[in-house]
Structure 1
């Protein structure tokens, strides 16, 4: 029995190593979140593109919205995590402290949810991809796989869906509108923005001025 368990664990380890190495050079064939979106909405809009094809506006907009320390942290923003924990202890609404690296690890390798087991795996994968992939690859995988609407994944598909153009051609304002849907793309719609979304859009526009891509 113990021998079979060790064989199983070894196979799992090997498959994970292969998947991580694969991810260094290729986008994922499909993710668990994408499968969920396909079943929920009956569609899967995505178009994987390279880092250089994305254009800088959408990169800056998403970094401004989600993780302004992306290029300087080691995968974890401990200040943001501490603030999130303090907020969640006081309030009812849960606030996350996940970096883009953590979200990439979750989106590519894992599933959505808030269990401690999944968060533990997320931390392991985050550490690995920070070492094995580097920032540009992590950001490319994130921007290609992130859910950005109901059945819409990645910035290229989002640019086509919301504005009928390629992501590299997005204006600063359009890129900021796409970033406003994060982290709740199933709820928010740039085509019909609420007062909250308009306020967030203006905030992202201001923050984009301070974002460097290195």
Structure 2
């Protein structure tokens, strides 16, 4: 009898010790399910707001955005985005291993790093669901959301969201709002030069001018313009047609 009685407190103690683990498992499962539902909803509903936009509002800036379906955005804009940000957009599954490796080598060598290894899919995941900045935790979440949008959205929707939530100037979001700001017309008809200028702004939208660019921004825009011609001729935007 004594042996049985003494075993009960130990059993209760083990039960209490497992409670935090069970709570953690339930919390993780809940967050996974929430993220899947969140991504599934945005498969059909335009993202109404992002953390980056919230940062502008909290800084006292107004936010300009004007959603436009990809079917109405001039194809020159998607080609310029592919040329400037992610040449393998239509062929990878969310991650460009070669570009990530090259970025890691540049980081290890030090110096000024102009471009990282993020794909358009990764940037879309970050811009839509997360906040700006680095850190392993944020990068881990970015990878998770990248996998989700690749599986649930597909390339057409990824590009559509990217071209509508990417920052194209101070307080300006999306190619359509950027085109209206810089060129005084919407994004349904953009010349290759105009699209390339907006694409050149994307890496540093708060510092690079979309109108009358100079220095590196001008040279980078011209390089994107040449690459966009290659994208068109070689069908590197075929997944969007």
1:148 alignment partner, SS class? strand
| Residues 86, 4 of structure 1: alpha-carbon distance in 2 compared, 3 angstrom cutoff | closer
Aligned to 1:26, the other structure's residue is in SS state coil
TM-score of the aligned structures, taking structure 2 as reference length: 0.84
Distance 1:149 1:38 in 2: 14
Larger radius of gyration: 2
Alignment partner for residue 27 of structure 1, among 15, 37, 46? 46
Q: Secondary structure at the match of 1:168?
A: coil
After superposition, the CA RMSD in angstroms is 1.5
Provide, for residues 155-208 of structure 1, a one-character-per-residue CA deviation record: whole Å limited to 9, x for no partner: 000000101101111111111111110200000002241221111111111001
Q: Select 1:54's aligned residue among 64, 73, 77.
A: 73
Task: Report 1:120-199 matches (<5 A).
Answer: 120-199=140-219
Counterpart contact for 1:41–1:151, Cα < 8 Å? no
* Cα distance in structure 2, aligned partners of 1:41 and 1:169: 32
The question of 1:101 aligning with 2:146 is answered no
Q: Map Cα deviations across residues 75-117 of structure 1 (whole Å, 9 max, x no partner).
A: 1111111110111111232441000000011111111111011
Residue 67 of structure 1: aligned partner: 86
Partner in structure 2 of residue 110 of structure 1: 130
Structure 2 equivalent of residue 204 of structure 1:
224
Q: Structure 1, unaligned stretches of length 5 or more?
A: none
- Which residue number corresponds to residue 79 of structure 1? 98
Q: Higher RCO, 1 or 2 (CA under 8 Å, sep at least 6)?
A: 1
Residue segments in structure 2 that go unaligned for 5+ positions in a row: 1-18
1:5, distance to aligned residue in structure 2 (A): 4.2
Distance 2:99 2:80 in 1: 19
Partner residue of 2:9?
Answer: none
* Residues 75, 101 of structure 1: 8 Å contact kept: yes
Paired with 1:41 and 1:82, the residues of 2 have a C-alpha distance of: 38
Residues 36-86 of structure 1: CA deviation (Å, up to 9, x unaligned): 122235210001111101110111111111011100111111111111011
The corresponding residue for 2:13 is: none
1:128-166, Cα deviation, whole Å (9 max, x unpaired): 111111000000011110011000000000000101101
Q: Is the 8 A contact 2:52 2:132 kept in 1?
A: yes
